[in-house]
Amino acid sequence: MDKKLIYTDNAATTRVAAEVLEAMLPYFRNEYGNASALYSLGQGSADALKTARAQVAKVLNADAAEIVFTGSGTEADNMALIGVMNSPVAKGKKHLITTVIEHPAMLRTAERLEKQGFSVTYLPVDGDGLISLSQLEEAICDDTALVSIMFANNEIGTIQPIAEIGALCKSKGVLFHTDAVQAFGAVPIDVKAMNIDLLSLSAHKINGPKGVGALYLKKGIALRPVVFGGGQERGLRGGTENIPGIVGLGHAAQLRADNLEEYSQKMTALRDRLIDGVLTAIPKVQLTGHKDKRLPAIASFVIEAIEGESLLLMLDMAGICASTGSACSTGSLDPSHVLMGIGLKHEVAHGSLRLSLGGYNTVEEIDYIIETLPGIVTKLRAMSPVWNG
Ligand code: PLP
């Protein structure tokens, strides 16, 4: 590709960091042994697994033994929900509480559980995307086994009051899972201080490889497995371990943890420059998600009288990769359930734009977006039958 690409879709996926790739390569080339093997080649893989487990655990203030590697964030979400609801740890309780703005990995799993006879409460969110703690408290009943509320939203970036939710769940004797796929490596997470019992994460959102994730599972929670097999991951997730991928996850996690403050400051500055620039340069644009309680790297908007898909195509022609609604639902013309969840009308939700930044973005790129976007919006609005501005 000749043309310079400005990549602002890091909430969808990220480029693998050079250091991460370097760390992974030996496990494709030389250290390819099966971690369960008794000869020394296998030992190299087993050691790598151990190191990565410790690296991931450290970011969460967890113990290495509490990390279960999975094939994705989606799998970790499935494992948490299906695993808890079907385990003795649920004590026969059949009620799950989640929110209307979860990722499809959660929502489709919750729907599946409903079909199997479990009951699910989907908490609403306010206009900023925040749940209400009092509504959560009211929803918890004697039959509630698990509360699962995402740490931060992938479309609008809103961060939930996780420590307060954790404390409430603990006081009610209910397990608490959080989908932290967007938050892991982006904001500080302390599973002990936040009273989190289970947490899902994924490597490819933090400059790690695709197809590898993990579930933090607090010591003592006996989960029923979802993937059965050869006893790997303490019998919780069968299948020969993806050692290069897991090494990549461990390195990516450590890189972020070592530079979290710096990452957060850089992203916040770029994000706020972008948000201010867009809101100033284009009339009838609204920021979506909470103004302050938001991920450092997500800028998200709805732009009146604009069709998100057309906007993306024109941005692509200008060399800018962005997204509208959720990348995972691309191909569907339904308005995003998250934007509907925060109370936007269909026609407004269709004009959504998410620019999610990453460590490789520069101030010059942000300024180029701020210069380019208004012209595209003007062109599209000129063609729009609903624009009367
Ligand atoms: N949960 C959230 C909040 C996400 O943003 C994503 C990915 O977009 C997932 C879960 C799924 O993660 P993975 O792509 O690793 O399956």
Any ligand 1 atom below 6 A from CB of 150: yes
**Do the bridges between strand 175-179 and strand 198-202 make them parallel or antiparallel, or are there none, so unpaired?**
parallel
328 CB near ligand 1 (under 6 Å): yes
What residues in the chain have per-residue pLDDT under 50?
Answer: 1-2, 326-329
74 touches 99 (CB < 8 A): no
Ligand 1 atom closest to 77 (CA): 10
The pLDDT assigned to 326 comes to 47
Looking at residue 204, its pLDDT comes to 98
The residue whose C-alpha atom lies closest to atom 5 belonging to ligand 1 is 154
Q: What is the pLDDT, as a whole number, of residue 332?
A: 60
From CA 52, how far away is CA 22, in angstroms rounded? 15
Nearest CA to ligand 1 atom 6: 181
Residue 213 Cβ < 6 Å to ligand 1: yes
Active site (annotated) includes residue 328: yes
The model carries a pTM of 0.97
Cβ 13 under 6 angstroms from ligand 1: no
Ligand 1 pocket, mutate which of 72, 106, 151, 181 (most atoms under 8 A from CB) = 181
Beta-carbon contacts of residue 295 (< 8 Å; ≥ 6 apart): 11, 152, 157, 159, 182, 183, 186, 187
Sheet holding 285-287, edge to edge: 285-287, 298-303, 352-356
Dist. CA 131–CA 109, nearest whole Å: 20
pLDDT of amino acid 335: 86
Q: Does the C-beta of 232 come closer than 6 Å to ligand 1?
A: no
108 lines ligand 1 (CB under 6 A): no
Atom of ligand 1 nearest to the CA of 211: 15
> What is the pLDDT at residue 331?
56
Cα(95) to centroid(ligand 1), Å: 24
In the chain, the N- to C-terminal Cα span, in Å, equals: 38
Measured in angstroms, how far is the CA atom of residue 150 from the centroid of ligand 1?
11
* Tens-digit pLDDT profile for residues 46-102: 999 999 999 999 999 999 999 999 999 999 999 999 999 999 999 999 999 999 999
> So what's the pLDDT on residue 328?
41
CA of 282 to the centre of ligand 1 (A): 31
Atom of ligand 1 nearest to the CA of 328: 8
- Choice from 10, 56, 74 to test ligand 1 binding pocket (greatest atom count within 8 A of CB): 74
- Pairing between β-strand 352-356 and β-strand 298-303 as defined by DSSP bridges: antiparallel
- E-state strands within 243-361: 285-287, 298-303, 320-321, 352-356
Q: Can you name the residues that pair with 5 across neighbouring β-strands?
A: none
How far does residue 182's CA lie from ligand 1's centre (Å)? Answer: 7
- Please work out whether the CB of residue 105 comes within 6 Å of at least one atom of ligand 1: yes
Q: How far apart are CA 249 and CA 260, in angstroms?
A: 16
User: Does any ligand 1 atom lie closer than 6 A to the CB of residue 199?
Assistant: no
